[in-house]
Amino acid sequence: MTINNAVSNVLMKSKECKTCEPTVIKHSSMDPIPLPKLYRLRSFLLTSTLLGMAGLGIYELNSVGSQAHFTIGVRTITNMGLIAILSNVMRRLQKSHHDLDQMTQRCQDALRLLDVCAVEEDNQLSQTLTVQDLYNNAPCGYHSLSPDGIVMLINDTELKMLGYDRAEVVGKMSFLEFVAPESQLKWIEKFQVLKAKGIVKDVEILLKSRNGEVFPVLANSTAITDKCGNYLSSRSTLIDVRKRKKVELALQKSEAQYRGIVEDQMDLICRFLPDGRLTFVNKAYCEYFNLDPDSLLGKCFTPMVFEDDRAKVEAQFQSPSPDFPVTTIEHRAISASGQIGWQSWTNRAIFDESGTIVEYQSVGRDISDRKRQDAAMVKLTKALELAVVGIAEVNYLGRFVQVNDAYAEMSGYDNAELIGREWWQLIIAEDRSKAIRAYQTMMEVDRAEVEIRSVRKNGEIFDRKIVLVKAYDENQQFVGHYSFTQDISSCREVDRLKDEFVSVVSHELRTPLTSIAGALDIVSSGILHTRPQQAHRMVTIAAQNTERLVRMVNDILDMERIKSGKITMEREQCDLAIILQESVEVMQMLADTAHVELKLNTDSVSVLVDRDRMIQVITNLLSNAIKFSEPHTIIDVATSLIDPSSSNHPVTFQLNKPSVLVSINDRGRGIPHDKLATIFEPFQQVDASDSRQKGGTGLGLSICRSILHQHNAPLWVESNLGEGSTFYFALS
Ligand code: ADP
């Protein structure tokens, strides 16, 4: 096709006036003519007819279907361009003095026709262009090869891929020239297959671009054949798989690494389906259960869970959700050898797009040792909590972090009250420096022991022995100390009592022994040989002291045996009035000697007591009352029934249930207030001379209290100095 110079000239001008204001054809009798956006081939013809009529040019059209020129025309003549052309036509027509109205009418008719045709052609062209555009700019390469492999058609993408121009390739080059040497044989073979079978699919070959770069492509081809099935050309797509290959390689590498990591893990790793069937197990998993992968994969893991724990495990797999896909569980597992061990698992549920669990991947470890330690720790903690020894954990600031019950009880505080307090606050001021020294020793040698006095919450001071043990964390950093504490007040008291007992006993025993030895010495020396009266007196002294000695030794043994529970009380139902009567009779002689009157005032009352021991108690109390009474005074022995809930008797505070109260009241010297409690302790007397003057041992009341204690009966005394004393005991 050729377009004559006049048209070319107009076209050139129309290109140049792209920035011009659009010129709208106007005429007094006409509305503005709407112009189509693009004018197609027929538009050209009509426009050119107009131009021809105007004597502006002649064109020739050899082939209506020549797309190349057609495309140029379409691309060149824009709306603006056509307006420019028509404006030009108008001007030229005016200059030619033709009948303007007639020409305008024809022009208008022509343009209307153009409108109709243009819309139709616009659609066709648009489709053709779309296909062409798609062909050339497709993301993959397209080409067609002649039977001898010459490139007949090739799209822009493939040309770009290879680095060539269309003109150099189409009709000139064989596709084989683009195939890298290592893939050429394969390509030849596949091209033969294509020609023979009409299709080849997913052939991966290496191409070589103009700049020498070799790259992989995936080719798919179909053959276009004539009616007899003879190959005419191919239609092939080429996908550049460089990126995919890279990703594949990277994926393979990372999978290999991942597998390596998973396989080398000490932890047990597995994947399984929602029904429990294993899809992957690592080496550690196989080793734990002593099974090879083949005997595990595809099998459900549930039988390897200890029976009692299965429900717990199954329930746990119901709980994950896409928002919380991870769960943890500890359960027992059974190995192939039947051994039961503890495992800890972290399970991650894998969900599909619909939120359904498709698989689990789990990491587990053997925690049997930890479980054993935990169990031991629980026992130990329990033991420490219940320990009689006070145990406290103190931080590096010296503040209590934790204390056991024994520690709290010892100090008189609640556990919670102690937490946060400084440990040395419980120590009395005078002993704090001693405690600090022990602390310093502990800091140096990890352990120290000290005996110090502490203060209970109620202010009471008590002795305690503390063992301080330095505490470290898992990084061997000092974090504080443990304090193991024993209340040694009672030990101290026992020690004190023992010391006192030994000194008193040795003193008490030595006194009569010295008398006996002295008296016997004199007698045996013979110096009283001629003085029988004096010799007799010496022997009497020896005999009296021996008797006292025997009494004392008996009392000591008695007391010891009662206190240690070696003597059991033979309790029987007795009439207390009779027991009191007998006791009074036993002591009557002594009372007579002391010129003291014993007065008994009692009613018959049945009590469950050890009769002999009860007589021992009463006679001992009577003996004291007689000893410490002035001559010609009265000792009242009485009983009364007391119900503490209804009675207002002054002694009811000593009782907590209805009791028979026995009272022995004398009008003797009385007992100082500060001795009212101590006289019940062994060897405790109001006056040191009492034992000498009154012949006592200081053990009687202690024995009485022990006997009555065995009867759950309290014993106490009320006294006013110089007025007398009343000893009470209550049997219930
Ligand atoms: P003992 O009488 O053998 O010395 P006890 O234990 O029976 O020993 O008494 C201890 C002390 O209590 C006596 O030594 C005495 O000082 C004091 N005591 C006991 N009973 C009386 C009493 N009725 N009046 C005054 N003091 C008493």
Same domain, 704 and 573: yes
Tokens of 86: 């028509």
Pocket test for ligand 1, best of 562, 666, 679 (most atoms within 8 A of CB): 679
Residue nearest atom 19 in ligand 1 by C-alpha distance:
624
According to the model, what pLDDT value does residue 184 have?
95
According to the model, what pLDDT value does residue 63 have?
31
Same domain, 278 and 346: yes
Same domain, 706 and 654: yes
CB 647 within 8 A of CB 655: no
- Give the number of the atom of ligand 1 that is nearest the alpha carbon of residue 691: 4
Mean pLDDT for the stretch of residues 388-404: 91
Print the SS3 string covering 475-512: CCCEEEEEEEEEECHHHHHHHHHHHHHHHHHHHHHHHH
Residue 124 belongs to some domain of the structure? no
- Contacts of 446-455 with CB under 8 Å at 24 or more apart are 446/470, 451/488, 452/427, 452/428, 453/427, 453/428, 454/411, 454/426, 454/427, 454/428, 455/426, 455/427, 455/428
Residue 121 belongs to some domain of the structure? no
pLDDT digits (tens, 9 = 90+) for 325-363: 898 999 999 887 788 999 999 999 999 988 889 999 999
In order of 225, 426, 544, the CA distances from 527 in angstroms are: 166, 68, 21
Residue 171 belongs to some domain of the structure? yes
Please determine, for residue 573, whether its predicted confidence score (pLDDT) is greater than 50. Answer: yes
pLDDT confidence tier of residue 50, bands split at 50, 70 and 90: low
Same domain, 572 and 695: yes
**DSSP secondary structure code for residue 34 in this structure:** P
Q: What is the CATH number of the domain that holds 518?
A: 1.10.287.130
What residues are in contact with ligand 1 under a 6 Å CB criterion? Answer: 624-625, 628, 666, 668-669, 671, 679, 685-687, 690-691, 696-702, 725
Mean pLDDT for the stretch of residues 446-457: 94
* Separation of CA 60 and ligand 1 centre (Å): 158
The span from the CA of 104 to the CA of 101, in Å, is: 5
The span from the CA of 101 to the CA of 103, in Å, is: 5
The DSSP annotation for 425-450 comes to: GGB-GGGHHHHHHHHHHHHHHSEEEE
Pocket test for ligand 1, best of 701, 704, 719, 727 (most atoms within 8 A of CB): 701
Same domain, 689 and 632: yes
Residue 380 belongs to some domain of the structure? no
Same domain, 628 and 726: yes
Which residues, other chains included, contact 423 with Cβ-Cβ below 8 Å and sequence gap of 6+?
A: 392, 394, 398, 399, 400, 483
* Separation of CA 425 and ligand 1 centre (Å): 43
Mean pLDDT for the stretch of residues 74-99: 48
- Domain boundary at 521, 538, 566, which? 566
CB 265 within 8 A of CB 251: no
The span from the CA of 332 to the CA of 181, in Å, is: 62
pLDDT confidence tier of residue 653, bands split at 50, 70 and 90: low
Owning domain of residue 43 = 3-104
pLDDT digits (tens, 9 = 90+) for 699-729: 889 889 989 988 989 999 999 998 999 999 9
Residue nearest atom 23 in ligand 1 by C-alpha distance:
625
Same domain, 365 and 262: yes
* Separation of CA 603 and ligand 1 centre (Å): 28
> 367, 369, 370, 365: which is closest to 270 by C-alpha?
365
Residue 694 belongs to some domain of the structure? yes
Tally of structural domains, the chain:
6
According to the model, what pLDDT value does residue 66 have?
30
% of the chain exceeding 90 in pLDDT: 47
Residue 110 belongs to some domain of the structure? no
* Separation of CA 621 and ligand 1 centre (Å): 8
Residue 220 belongs to some domain of the structure? yes
The span from the CA of 449 to the CA of 730, in Å, is: 47
Residue 122 belongs to some domain of the structure? no
The DSSP annotation for 355-368 comes to: S-EEEEEEEEEE-H
Mean pLDDT for the stretch of residues 298-317: 90
Same domain, 681 and 583: yes
* Separation of CA 545 and ligand 1 centre (Å): 20
* Separation of CA 629 and ligand 1 centre (Å): 11
Same domain, 698 and 602: yes
The span from the CA of 641 to the CA of 651, in Å, is: 12
Q: Is the pTM of this model over 0.85?
A: no
Residue nearest atom 26 in ligand 1 by C-alpha distance:
671
- Domain boundary at 50, 85, 104, which? 104
Residue nearest atom 8 in ligand 1 by C-alpha distance:
698
In order of 180, 190, 235, 346, 572, the CA distances from 185 in angstroms are: 10, 9, 20, 54, 123
Length of the chain: 732
Q: What is the CATH number of the domain that holds 687?
A: 3.30.565.10
Same domain, 594 and 727: yes
- Domain boundary at 566, 590, 620, which? 566
pLDDT digits (tens, 9 = 90+) for 112-160: 665 665 666 667 777 777 777 888 888 899 999 999 999 999 999 999 9
CB 705 within 8 A of CB 716: no
According to the model, what pLDDT value does residue 38 have?
34
CA quadruple 107, 113, 118, 124: dihedral positive or negative?
A: negative
Residue nearest atom 18 in ligand 1 by C-alpha distance:
624
Helix (H) or strand (E) holding 180: none
Q: Is 18 helix (H, G, I), strand (E, B) or coil?
A: helix
pLDDT confidence tier of residue 660, bands split at 50, 70 and 90: very high
Name the average pLDDT for the chain.
81
Same domain, 620 and 714: yes
Same domain, 603 and 681: yes
β 231-240/340-351 pair status: unpaired
Q: What is the CATH number of the domain that holds 348?
A: 3.30.450.20
Q: Which residues sit opposite 24 in a β-bridge?
A: none
